[in-house]
Structure 1
Amino acid sequence: MARDGRSLRRGLAAALFVRYLGAGSWAPLQVLFFVRSVGLSTGNVVLGLTAAGLAGLAAGPIVGRLADRFGPREVGIAGLVAQAGAAAALLTVDGMGGFLVVITLIALGRGAFPAISGALIAYVGGPDKVAYRARIYSLQNLAMVSGSLLGGLALQADTRTAYTIAICADVVSYLVAALLVARLPHLPPVPRESGGRQRYALADKPFLAVSMLAGTLVMFDVFMTVLMPVWIAEYTDAPRWTVSLVFALSCGLVVLLQTRVARGVETPRDGALAMRRSGPVIAAAMGLVFAAAHVSTYTAMGLVLVGTAALTFGEMLFTAGEYALSFGLAPEHAQGEYQGVFSVGVGIGGAVAPTVLNALCLSAGPVGWIALVAIMVAAGAAVPPVAAIAERGRGLREAEPRPTG
C-alpha cells in the first residue's frame, strides 16, 4: 500500500536536505581545490566552471522529459548515482584536460537536478506543491549553511587529505539521497490531459519569456554572494566581518520566514504578483547597499544590514512567485520538462550576472547602479502581463480537441 502524502513529503524532504548539506560543504571549496590541490590557475578554473555551468543547463529539459515519461523516482535515483560518480572523479583530476571533462559531467548533473527535484516535488507535494516547495527552500538554506560550516573545516586545513575527505562526503551525500529517494514508492507518470496536443516546453515562448524575466530578477542572488562582499570590503567603511553577518542574517530570515511569505501564493497570477512586488523591493535593497559607500562606519554597517534584510525579503517574494509560476504554468504531465526549461532561463541569468554586475556596479559608477535598479523594477513589472499570456496559452492548448484520424 502506498504511503500517505505526509510520509512521502517527509521522505523527499530528508533526501533533499542531505543533498543540500553535501552541496553546501563543497561549494566554498571547489575553486580552491583546483587551484591549491590540483595546481590550476584561478583564471582557468573560473573560466572552465562558467563554461561548464552554461553547458550543463542543457541537461534540464532532457532529464525532465525522462522523468515525465518514466517517473521521477527512477530517474531521480539514476541521476543522483551518476552525480556521485562524477563527484568521485574529482579525485582523478591532475590537469586541465581532466578538469574540463569532470566539471562538465558535474555541471550536467547540476543542470539536471532542478528538473528531477522539481518533478519529485510537483508529484509528492500534490495540490500544496508551492507551499511544500517553500518549506523545502527553508530546509535548503539551513542545510547549505550547515554544510558550509563543515566545508570551512577542510578550508582551514587546506591539505590534499582534507579536500579528499570533503569530496568523499559530497559523494556520500549523493548516495544517501539516492537511497532515501529509493524508499519512495514508484511515482507513475501523469497522463496527458485528454484532448491536449503534444507541446514541448522549449517551444512555449511565453513560458520561456517568464523564465528569462525570472533569470533577470535572480541577479539578486549573485549581487549578495559575489558583489556585496567586494562592495563592503573595498567601497564602504563597514567592518569586513559585516560580510559574515550578511550571510547569517539572510539565511536566518529565509529559514524563519520563507514559508510564511509564500502563504497564499498558489496560482500563476499570485506568483506573477509576487514577482512584480519583488522587483521594487530588490531595487530598494540595492540602493541601500550603494548608499553604504557614502556614509560613516556604523551607518554603513546599518545600511548594509537593512539592505540585506530587504534583499532577502525580495528573494522570498521572488522564490514564492517562481514556484507558483513554474509549477502553475506547466502541464501536470510535463512538470519535469517544464521545470528543467524554467531552470535554463534562471540559470542563464545567474551565469551572466557576475559580468553584468561588475560592469554596472564596479565600472559604471552611480549611473550603472541607477540602471541596475531600473532593470529590477522593469523585470518585475513585466512578469504579470507575460505570465497572463502564458496562462491563456496553456488554457487554449488544453481546450484543443484531439485530432481524429
Structure 2
Amino acid sequence: MSFSRKRSALYARIPGGADGRRMLWIALINKAGTGLWMGAAALYFTLVTGLSVAEVGVLLGVSGAVGIAGAPLAGHLADRFPVTRIIIGAQLQQAVALSALLTTDNFALLLLYSAVNSLADRGANVLTKLYAARIAGPQRTTYQAVQRTVSNAGWAIGGLAGALALAVGTTHAYQALLIGNVVSFLAAAVLTLRCAEPPSPSRLVADSTATAPVAPPSNPWRDRPYLLFTVTEAALFLDDAVLQVGIPLWIVHATDAPHGLAPLLMVLNCVLVVCCQVPLSRFGSTPERARALLVPLAACFVVGCGALTASALGGTWLAVAALTVAAIALTFAEILHAIASWELSIALAPDDAQGAYLGVHGLSSSAQRSGGPLLVTAVIAAGPLAWPVLGAGVIVTVAAQSRLVRKRLTRQSPGADRAVAPRAM
C-alpha cells in the first residue's frame, strides 16, 4: 500500500467521522496560534509591558481565578444549548481579549483583558472535551489522545515560530506572536461553523420532559466523591504551571541557561506529546487502568522537580542539561495525567448531566491556572530546595486520589462505563 493510501486509511479511522476530523484541524490551527503566544507570554509581560516577576504572577493568578467560572458556566450551557455555538462564542471572546492586550501596558487593564481571555479559555477547554466525548462515543479515549497529539503538533509549530521571534527580541516581534494567536482564534471560529452538532444525552432528557416524567438530573455539586476528585485534580495539573510559567522564569532568574531555551523546551514538550500521547493512551482505556497511571505520574513529577533543583547549581551546560531532563519528566507527567484525568472524569460522570460534571471537573485546571502561577513563583522565590517539597506534595495528592477513585469505582456496576448514582463517602 502506498504512503498516501496508508495516510488516507489512518485518516478514515479517526473517531467522529468528518466532523471529528474537522475538529482536529481546528485544534491544530488553534494551538499553533496559542503556541506562538504562550511560550512567550510571561516574558512579554516582563520585557515589553515592564511588569515585575511578582506582578506577572499576580496577573496570571488573578486572571486564572476569574477563569475558574468559565468551566462550570460552559458545562451548564452545553447541557442546554448547541455546544458548537458556545465554542464559537468562546473563540471570538478570546480573539477580542487578546487583541486588547496590544493596546496598553497598564497593569489593571492587562489584568482585565487577561481575565476575560482566561474565562473563555477555561470554558473552551471543557467544551472541546465534551464535544469529543459526544462525537466519539466509546472511542473517546482514542479520540482524545489523537486530539491532544494534533494540539501539541500545533503547539510545536507555534513554539518554533515563537523561538525565532524571541531570537529577534524586539517589541514588534513579541506583538507579532500575539497577533498570530488572535488570527488563529478567528480562523478556528470560521471552521467551527461548519461542524455539525453532536447528540447530547442531557438535552434529549430535557426534551423528553414534555411527554414523560423523568427523574431530576444528577447534580455534581451534591456529589461529594466527584468534588473531592476534582480537588485532587487541581494539584495534578501543576505540571502546566511549571512548564508554562515556572521553567521560563526559572531560566531567567535562577540559572545560567540562555533565555532562548524556554520556547525550545516548549517545543520539546509538544514533540514528546505528539510522539507518545496516542501510544500511551492504551494504558488508560478503562477507569481501573487509568487509576494505575497515577504512580508513574508522581514519579515523573518528582524527577522533574529534582532536575530543576540541579539546574541552579551553576554552569551553562549543567543548567541546559538539567532543564531538558526536567522538561522531559514533566512532559511525561503531563501525558500520563491527561490520559488518567480524561478517562476518569468521563467515567465518573452520569450521562444525564455530562456537561455539568465536566464543567465541575474543569474547575481543577482553572484553579491550577489561578493558584499554580502564584505557587510556582513562590517556589522560585524560595529557592532550589523548594522544588523537591513541591514534588512531595504531588506524591501525597496522588495517594489521596488513588484511594478516592478506588472507592468510587467499587460502587459501579460490573463492566459499567460510568458511575452509579452519587453517594457520599
What TM-score, normalized by structure 2, do the two folds share? 0.79
Superposed, which structure 2 residues align to 1:237-248 within 5 Å?
243=262, 246-248=265-267
Q: What residue is the counterpart of 2:400 in the other structure?
A: 382
Equivalent of 1:317, from 336, 352, 359?
A: 336
How far apart, CA to CA, are the structure 2 residues paired with 1:64 and 1:387?
22
Q: What residue is the counterpart of 1:127 in the other structure?
A: 138
In the TM superposition, residue 344 of structure 1 has moved relative to its aligned partner by: 1.2
User: Do the aligned partners of residues 99 and 175 (structure 1) sit closer, same or farther apart at CA in structure 2, a change above 3 Å counting?
Assistant: same
Stretch moving more, 267-276 or 162-171 = 162-171
Superposed, which structure 2 residues align to 1:351-390 within 5 Å?
351-360=370-379, 362-363=381-382, 366=385, 368-390=386-408
How far apart, CA to CA, are the structure 2 residues paired with 1:158 and 1:295?
28
Stretch moving more, 376-385 or 286-295 = 286-295
How far apart, CA to CA, are the structure 2 residues paired with 1:7 and 1:332?
24
In 2, are the aligned partners of 1:285 and 1:310 still within 8 Å (CA)?
yes
How far apart, CA to CA, are the structure 2 residues paired with 1:134 and 1:152?
26
Q: Which one-letter code corresponds to 1:158 in the other structure?
A: T
Equivalent position SS for 1:310: helix
Q: What residue is the counterpart of 1:403 in the other structure?
A: none
Q: Which one-letter code corresponds to 2:285 in the other structure?
A: E
In the TM superposition, residue 297 of structure 1 has moved relative to its aligned partner by: 6.6
Superposed, which structure 2 residues align to 1:62-77 within 5 Å?
62-77=73-88
Q: What residue is the counterpart of 2:7 in the other structure?
A: none
How far apart, CA to CA, are the structure 2 residues paired with 1:158 and 1:309?
29
Stretch moving more, 139-148 or 76-85 = 76-85
In the TM superposition, residue 280 of structure 1 has moved relative to its aligned partner by: 2.3
User: Do the aligned partners of residues 390 and 361 (structure 1) sit closer, same or farther apart at CA in structure 2, a change above 3 Å counting?
Assistant: farther
How far apart, CA to CA, are the structure 2 residues paired with 1:77 and 1:165?
23
Q: Which one-letter code corresponds to 1:21 in the other structure?
A: A
Equivalent position SS for 1:276: helix
In the TM superposition, residue 66 of structure 1 has moved relative to its aligned partner by: 0.9
User: Do the aligned partners of residues 40 and 71 (structure 1) sit closer, same or farther apart at CA in structure 2, a change above 3 Å counting?
Assistant: same
Equivalent of 1:110, from 112, 116, 121?
A: 121
Equivalent position SS for 2:191: helix
User: Do the aligned partners of residues 331 and 192 (structure 1) sit closer, same or farther apart at CA in structure 2, a change above 3 Å counting?
Assistant: farther
User: Do the aligned partners of residues 6 and 218 (structure 1) sit closer, same or farther apart at CA in structure 2, a change above 3 Å counting?
Assistant: same
In the TM superposition, residue 349 of structure 1 has moved relative to its aligned partner by: 2.6
Q: What residue is the counterpart of 2:349 in the other structure?
A: 330
Q: Which one-letter code corresponds to 2:357 in the other structure?
A: Y
In the TM superposition, residue 157 of structure 1 has moved relative to its aligned partner by: 6.2
In 1, are the aligned partners of 2:218 and 2:352 still within 8 Å (CA)?
no
In the TM superposition, residue 172 of structure 1 has moved relative to its aligned partner by: 2.5
How far apart, CA to CA, are the structure 1 residues paired with 2:24 and 2:170?
32
Q: What residue is the counterpart of 2:31 in the other structure?
A: 20
User: Do the aligned partners of residues 220 and 99 (structure 1) sit closer, same or farther apart at CA in structure 2, a change above 3 Å counting?
Assistant: closer
Superposed, which structure 2 residues align to 1:265-284 within 5 Å?
265-284=284-303
Q: What residue is the counterpart of 1:48 in the other structure?
A: 59
User: Do the aligned partners of residues 163 and 201 (structure 1) sit closer, same or farther apart at CA in structure 2, a change above 3 Å counting?
Assistant: same
User: Do the aligned partners of residues 110 and 200 (structure 1) sit closer, same or farther apart at CA in structure 2, a change above 3 Å counting?
Assistant: same
Q: Which one-letter code corresponds to 2:94 in the other structure?
A: Q
Q: Which one-letter code corresponds to 1:219 in the other structure?
A: L
In 2, are the aligned partners of 1:211 and 1:346 still within 8 Å (CA)?
no
Superposed, which structure 2 residues align to 1:137-148 within 5 Å?
137-148=148-159
How far apart, CA to CA, are the structure 2 residues paired with 1:225 and 1:78?
26
User: Do the aligned partners of residues 147 and 202 (structure 1) sit closer, same or farther apart at CA in structure 2, a change above 3 Å counting?
Assistant: farther
Equivalent position SS for 1:70: coil
Q: Please, which runs of 5 or more residues in structure 1 have no aligned partner?
A: 400-405
In the TM superposition, residue 343 of structure 1 has moved relative to its aligned partner by: 2.0
Q: Percent identity at matched positions? A: 28
In the TM superposition, residue 49 of structure 1 has moved relative to its aligned partner by: 3.6
How far apart, CA to CA, are the structure 2 residues paired with 1:311 and 1:278?
9
In 2, are the aligned partners of 1:282 and 1:311 still within 8 Å (CA)?
yes
- What's the RMSD between the two structures over aligned residues? 3.5
User: Do the aligned partners of residues 175 and 291 (structure 1) sit closer, same or farther apart at CA in structure 2, a change above 3 Å counting?
Assistant: closer
Tell me the alpha carbon deviations over residues 230-249 of structure 1, each in whole angstroms, 9 at most, x when there is no partner.
55566567677665664343
Stretch moving more, 130-139 or 263-272 = 263-272
Superposed, which structure 2 residues align to 1:2-13 within 5 Å?
5-13=16-24
Equivalent position SS for 1:322: helix
In the TM superposition, residue 218 of structure 1 has moved relative to its aligned partner by: 2.0
How far apart, CA to CA, are the structure 2 residues paired with 1:296 and 1:31?
24
Equivalent of 1:178, from 189, 202, 215?
A: 189
Q: Which one-letter code corresponds to 1:70 in the other structure?
A: F
What TM-score, normalized by structure 1, do the two folds share? 0.83
In 1, are the aligned partners of 2:97 and 2:117 still within 8 Å (CA)?
yes
In the TM superposition, residue 376 of structure 1 has moved relative to its aligned partner by: 1.8
In the TM superposition, residue 317 of structure 1 has moved relative to its aligned partner by: 1.2
Equivalent position SS for 2:218: coil
How far apart, CA to CA, are the structure 1 residues paired with 2:267 and 2:157?
11
User: Do the aligned partners of residues 315 and 29 (structure 1) sit closer, same or farther apart at CA in structure 2, a change above 3 Å counting?
Assistant: closer
How far apart, CA to CA, are the structure 1 residues paired with 2:111 and 2:252?
32
Q: What residue is the counterpart of 1:220 in the other structure?
A: 239
Stretch moving more, 174-183 or 254-263 = 174-183
